[in-house]
Amino acid sequence: MCNLFVSQDPATYAAETRSVRLHGHVTSIRLEAAFWTTLEEIASHEGMSVARFVSVLHDEILNRTGEVANFASFLRVACLHWLRNQDLHADQLAERRSTVVRGMVSENLSATA
Model's pTM, two decimal places? 0.76
CB 32 within 8 A of CB 12: yes
CA distance 12 to 2: 16
* Contact assessment for residue 15 and residue 28, using Cβ atoms and an 8 Å cutoff: no
Question: Tens digits of per-residue pLDDT, 26-81?
Answer: 999 999 999 999 999 999 989 999 999 999 999 999 999 999 889 999 999 999 99
Q: Which helix (H) or strand (E) holds 17?
A: strand 15-22
Domains, in order of start, for the chain:
2-85 (1.10.3990.20)
The per-residue pLDDT for 98 is: 76
- Could you give the CA distance from residue 16 to residue 29 in angstroms, rounded to a whole number? 8
pLDDT in tens, 98-112: 776 677 666 666 666
